[in-house]
Structure 1
Amino acid sequence: MTLAKRLKSSVSNLAQGVVGVAAGLALVFAIAGAPAQAWAQVAPAPAAAPAATPAIQGQGPALWVIKDADSTLYLFGTVHVLRPTVGWLSPKVEAAFDSSDQIWFEFSNPDDQAAVMAVIQQHGYSSDRPLSSYLTADERIGLEAAAASIGVAAEAMEPMRPWWAGMTLALAPLAKAGYDPMSGSERILKARADAAGKPSHGFETIEQQVRVLADLPEAVQVDLVREGITDYQRGAEMLDGLVDAWAKGDVKALEAITVAEMKADFPALYGRLIVDRNTDWADQIQTQLQGSGTAFIAVGAAHLTGDDSVQSILKSRGVAVESVE
């Protein structure tokens, strides 16, 4: 698996978001629309709303809880773009959410498209160098074909910085496969929180989310574009496997899909995308434990898998984290 594929996989949980980001990298980019008009152009006509909440698979996605004398904190891993037919709101997740006084996401306003687009405009576009100047003649021909297939003119991609162009190519095909940011976990949970009058908070700002990718070395960004040109059609296939593991609560499979290979082959990048952020979030969770009340914490599922997960970091500090069965 190439570096670009690993990056796309992580941010799609990271989406997660294409991306990453859903709060989360994947959600940021999904909300932004990759670009928004492209998502609308390639998406199939919306189907009628399901008559009932889709059934979960087995016990549904994994859920963890942290408790002390006066605090209860639930940890729930999310996927930022989903098909409307995917069942994930299990009774245990609903009970944990309903009992919570406040909700925490990767960033506080995953439904604010205007705010996301402002940051994308700042960090995703540049007048200094056209996108095509990074590519060979054959790659420029491939970019035109790939852009046309997702309903975007290649000329419209010229001012995009390479990381944003790569995410655009990776994410837009998800719409053709029926994935929708409006059905993503965070969008559903945020709407429920607003309806119930529950305050929402974020571990990071939207700018911090975007700059995780916008500040990547230029060579890595260009690799994302090249991979998008040749392999953009596989995005839905990759996300299908992730969603299946997540919906079943198969944390080991999620680890293999989202973080294991990146950790082994690109430890510095893994540290930046996963470990550094998980460590910061663990710090903030420990601060929450010093207060009181019940909170529901929803972050990309990749951050709750593996030896460097938020739970593992907390456990290494003596904080008890238990699975909710």
Structure 2
Amino acid sequence: MVSCILLFAADNVIVCPRYFLAKGLAMRSLGIALTLIFCFFGYQSSHAASVWKVTNGENTLYLAGTIHILSPDDYPLPAQFQSAYEASEVMVFETDISAMNSPDMQQKSMEMLTYTDGTTIDQVLQKETLNKLNSHLMQRGVPLANLETFKPTLLSLTLTMIEFQAIGLTTQGVDAFYYTTAMGDGKMRKWLETPEQQLNFIANMATGDEDEMILYTLKDLESLPSRMGELKEAWRAGDMDTLAAIGLTPWIEEYADIYQAIFVERNNNWVPEIKEMLTTPKTEMVLVGALHMPGEHGLLTQLSQQGYTITQLK
């Protein structure tokens, strides 16, 4: 489910397709313009949300599960996000969003996610995969030639971004909003991974599985419109069981290696950093993709098993 990675797991994978589209390497008619700042108003709700208070009895932090790209209709956000923000002194993101958008990182993205040696995607994919890809693009009025230098990972992300725009997901999400807000308010900002780490992760996702990545993306996109409403509803309500069933189970069952790399390894790397935050008196708000929260390898389970008190905000 590449769409789930974009929404819930990898903080800035949406940056790269936007960059290449803006550079004219794909069709200009897409017009994918993702907004950095949007209007925010308090949302009053008696229901739970994807925000948790984590404490060791002395110190506190807030753990917020986010969606990295949303539609204008998804606002206002649940009030629990703003409550946690106001109670926090330090904002912690998956990566440094400003650095990820820098010219240097965009150039590195171009070098790592496109073929620069004359190779084209039709030389990489098997004929059956190429035919399905071309058929999908023709239905959307997109010539394959416009994407021929894209490596499979970037191609997969771009295909997903096209579908996101088609169903109205054109606004960046919770992470970008609070990053910008924290900058304006002068709050300290930290991150769990460097931009280079995220870019390397993205670039290597499809290594050795190029055809599988494209075929799975095309299959995933068929059910995207019908599945998206259920995904977002579960996120807003903080319903981690439903979110895991839709967004995690397919990876575990069909692509265990990718699940291990995307979720298990990264969660395991983050837990010690989160524990370290709980040794200081400052209150942090940690924002990561919501699919990092549920499941036996999720952050909530790991922290709970290690003795921390976790309370979902309502």
TM-score class normalised by the smaller sequence: 0.7 to 0.9
1:132 equivalent among 108, 122, 143: 122
Question: Are residue 207 (structure 1) and residue 192 (structure 2) matched?
Answer: no
Partner of 2:175: 186
Partners of 1:111 and 1:151 lie apart in 2 by: 34
Partners of 1:288 and 1:194 lie apart in 2 by: 20
Partners of 2:98 and 2:129 lie apart in 1 by: 34
Q: More deviation in 132-141 or 251-260?
A: 132-141
Give the CA deviation at 1:227. 3.6
Q: More deviation in 189-198 or 50-59?
A: 50-59
Whether the 8 Å contact between 1:99 and 1:294 is mirrored in structure 2 is yes
What does residue range 139-158 of structure 1 map to in structure 2 within 5 Å? 139-147=129-137, 152-158=142-148
Compared CA separation, residues 218 and 73, structure 1 to 2 (3 A): same
Q: More deviation in 115-124 or 169-178?
A: 115-124
Q: More deviation in 160-169 or 297-306?
A: 160-169
Partners of 1:137 and 1:265 lie apart in 2 by: 23
Structure 1, unmatched stretches of 5+, are 1-5
1:95 equivalent among 75, 79, 83: 83
Give the CA deviation at 1:229. 4.7
Secondary structure of the equivalent of 2:149? coil
Partner of 1:80: 68
Compared CA separation, residues 263 and 52, structure 1 to 2 (3 A): closer
TM score, norm. by length of structure 2: 0.84
Letter in 2 for 1:191: T
Letter in 1 for 2:102: A
Partners of 1:127 and 1:305 lie apart in 2 by: 39
Question: Are residue 216 (structure 1) and residue 210 (structure 2) matched?
Answer: no
TM score, norm. by length of structure 1: 0.82
Partner of 2:303: 314
Partner of 2:256: 267
Give the CA deviation at 1:221. 2.8
Question: Are residue 33 (structure 1) and residue 44 (structure 2) matched?
Answer: no
Q: More deviation in 251-260 or 89-98?
A: 89-98
Partners of 1:321 and 1:256 lie apart in 2 by: 22
Partner of 1:166: 156
Secondary structure of the equivalent of 1:13? helix
Give the CA deviation at 1:151. 6.3
Give the CA deviation at 1:265. 4.2
Compared CA separation, residues 307 and 293, structure 1 to 2 (3 A): same
Q: Identify the structure with bigger relative contact order (alpha carbons < 8 Å, sequence gap 6+).
A: 2
Partner of 1:3: none
Question: Are residue 67 (structure 1) and residue 55 (structure 2) matched?
Answer: yes
Letter in 2 for 1:196: D
Structure 2, unmatched stretches of 5+, are none
Q: More deviation in 62-71 or 170-179?
A: 62-71
How many pairs are equivalent? 308
Give the CA deviation at 1:135. 3.0
Letter in 2 for 1:74: Y
Give the CA deviation at 1:216. 3.1
Partner of 2:293: 304
Compared CA separation, residues 133 and 305, structure 1 to 2 (3 A): same
Compared CA separation, residues 286 and 162, structure 1 to 2 (3 A): same
